[in-house]
């Protein structure tokens, strides 16, 4: 009988794409292994996971807002319904192991899996552990982390420092620049700034680039800009730059490997997935952490790179004043670009997905 694994979590690309990478690695190691994803209804995993070729079931779980909000009144009911549905999913699918990657859905699913005696594994992407994972750690058999020092949050004997899984197509982009130039229809003789705010967009980054795009273009640079859906629609950004040969605007980029391949400098939030991809792609990066992320974990992610002289950090509140000028300064400084490339590449863990998949198989065996 084939082995079966449930992978739960989501909410952002930072949870979803590591989950998909783990699933892919599991099936490469055990081709007959069956994977079922469990996500949160209405969240982006309900679209992204099926697009990657996997089945997903949604739970009605929601997060608790930190400010006083009427929506918090519905949380106990949705939690109870999610726990009940998670228990039924486990009974129907009969998994041999359950993996939680963070996000709303991982809590109910891993809690019910533990109660059912199913071995569980947590994959914590950030340098500061999330609340859900800290609660689940007591019952988890294994906790895979991306950063050293995580014994501050988890039992040390359960930890394995394996890095963050990323999409396979980003592991080797060195041969893709010609393909990327053709895909984006850009000039091979100009340097390219790749701007991304994560899968949901980033207001301070978008507003900074929107205000300074003329300066970037007049300085001779070309820009690939992932805005997120909301900003693209509200600001009419896509239409505004549709005729400009030096600017390419997308609400979401699926061909991330090509965007990294063509980029000379990257501007990004500091979510765990983005940081791990930048390490693997070995790109000079300017990080603008989202200041309202839980426990300010994006700032801690960025600071971990800055300590290794592997990235530049700009605080969110300073982005509108300094982001474009710092980006131009880095584009004008090939020697600094090279130093950042060398330092960030030392932090890459290209085998993370496979190593985590092996830990899951150890739990089963």
Tell whether residue 255 is among the known ligand binding residues.
no
Show me where the domains of the chain are located.
Answer: 4-164+350-364, 169-345
Do 276 and 345 contact (CB within 8 A), yes or no? no
Rounded to whole angstroms, what are the CA distances from 200 to 14, 54, 136, 232, 251? 10, 22, 26, 11, 9
Dump pLDDT digits (tens) for 18-58: 999 999 999 999 999 999 999 999 888 999 899 999 999 99
CATH 3.10.129.10 fits 169-345, yes or no: no
The C-alpha atoms of residue 58 and residue 105 are separated, in whole angstroms, by 8
Tell whether residue 298 is among the known ligand binding residues.
yes
Q: Give, to the nearest 10 degrees, the angle between helix 352-364 and helix 13-29.
A: 60
* Mean model confidence pLDDT for the chain: 90
Confidence of residue 268 (pLDDT cuts 50, 70, 90): very high
**Tokens (6 digits) for 355:** 């190593």
Tell whether residue 12 is among the known ligand binding residues.
yes
For residue 66, pLDDT beyond 70: no
The C-alpha atoms of residue 51 and residue 45 are separated, in whole angstroms, by 9
For residue 251, list its beta bridge partners.
none
When the candidates are 3.30.565.10, 3.40.50.2000, 1.20.140.10, 3.40.50.300, the CATH number that belongs to 4-164+350-364 is: 3.40.50.2000
Confidence of residue 243 (pLDDT cuts 50, 70, 90): low
Query: What residue has token string 């090939």?
Result: 334
Tell whether residue 138 is among the known ligand binding residues.
no
Fold equal for 4-164+350-364 and 169-345: yes
For the chain, the straight-line distance linking the first and the last C-alpha, in angstroms and rounded, comes to: 13
Tell whether residue 167 is among the known ligand binding residues.
yes
Tell whether residue 13 is among the known ligand binding residues.
yes
Do 284 and 353 contact (CB within 8 A), yes or no? no
Tell whether residue 273 is among the known ligand binding residues.
yes
Dump pLDDT digits (tens) for 317-352: 999 999 999 999 999 999 999 999 999 999 999 999
Who wins on pLDDT, 9 or 12? Answer: 9
Tell whether residue 246 is among the known ligand binding residues.
no
Confidence of residue 121 (pLDDT cuts 50, 70, 90): very high
Output the pLDDT for position 67: 57
For residue 199, pLDDT beyond 70: no
The C-alpha atoms of residue 25 and residue 320 are separated, in whole angstroms, by 40
Tell whether residue 236 is among the known ligand binding residues.
no
The C-alpha atoms of residue 2 and residue 137 are separated, in whole angstroms, by 27
Output the pLDDT for position 241: 67
Tell whether residue 126 is among the known ligand binding residues.
yes
Question: In this structure, how many other beta carbons lie within 10 angstroms of the beta carbon of residue 229?
Answer: 13
Confidence of residue 96 (pLDDT cuts 50, 70, 90): very high
Tell whether residue 276 is among the known ligand binding residues.
yes
287: Cβ–Cβ under 8 A, 6 or more apart, which residues?
268, 269, 270, 275, 301, 302, 305, 311, 312, 313, 314
Confidence of residue 65 (pLDDT cuts 50, 70, 90): low
Q: Is 2 exposed, middle or buried (0-12, 13-18, 19+ CB in 10 A)?
A: exposed
**Tokens (6 digits) for 24:** 């892919």
Confidence of residue 236 (pLDDT cuts 50, 70, 90): low
Rg (CA), the chain: 21
Tell whether residue 275 is among the known ligand binding residues.
yes
Dump pLDDT digits (tens) for 296-320: 889 999 998 999 999 999 999 999 9
């Amino acid at each position: 009988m084939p082995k079966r694994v449930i992978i739960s979590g989501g909410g952002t690309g930072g949870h979803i794409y590591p989950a998909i990478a783990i699933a892919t690695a599991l099936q490469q190691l055990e081709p007959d292994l069956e994977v079922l994803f469990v996500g949160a209804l209405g969240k982006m995993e309900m679209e992204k996971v099926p697009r990657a070729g996997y089945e997903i079931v949604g739970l009605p779980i929601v997060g608790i807002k930190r400010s006083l909000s009427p929506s918090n009144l519905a949380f106990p009911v949705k939690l109870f319904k999610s726990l009940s549905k998670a228990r039924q999913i486990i009974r129907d699918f009969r998994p041999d192991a359950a993996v939680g990657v963070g996000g709303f859905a991982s809590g109910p699913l891993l809690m019910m899996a533990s109660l059912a005696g199913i071995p569980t594994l947590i994959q914590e992407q950030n340098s500061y552990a999330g609340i859900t994972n800290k609660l689940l750690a007591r019952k988890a058999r294994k906790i895979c982390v991306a950063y050293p020092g995580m014994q501050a949050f988890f039992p040390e004997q359960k930890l394995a420092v394996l890095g963050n899984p990323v999409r396979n197509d980003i592991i080797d982009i060195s041969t893709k620049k010609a393909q990327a130039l053709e895909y984006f229809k850009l000039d091979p003789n100009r340097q390219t700034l790749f701007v991304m705010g994560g899968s949901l967009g980033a207001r301070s980054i978008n507003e900074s680039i929107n205000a300074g795009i003329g300066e970037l273009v007049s300085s001779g640079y070309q820009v690939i800009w992932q805005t997120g859906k909301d900003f693209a629609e509200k600001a009419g950004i896509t239409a505004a730059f549709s005729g400009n040969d030096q600017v390419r605007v997308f609400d979401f980029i699926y061909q991330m490997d090509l965007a990294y391949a063509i980029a000379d400098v990257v501007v990004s939030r500091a979510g765990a997935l983005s940081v791990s991809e930048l390490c693997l792609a070995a790109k000079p990066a300017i990080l603008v952490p989202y200041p309202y992320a839980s426990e300010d974990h994006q700032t801690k992610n960025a600071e971990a790179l800055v300590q290794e002289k592997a990235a530049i950090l700009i605080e969110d509140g300073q982005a509108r004043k300094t982001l474009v000028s710092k980006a131009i300064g880095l584009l004008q400084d090939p020697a600094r670009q090279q130093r950042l490339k060398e330092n960030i590449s030392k932090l890459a863990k290209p085998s993370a997905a496979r190593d985590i998949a092996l830990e899951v198989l150890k739990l089963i065996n």
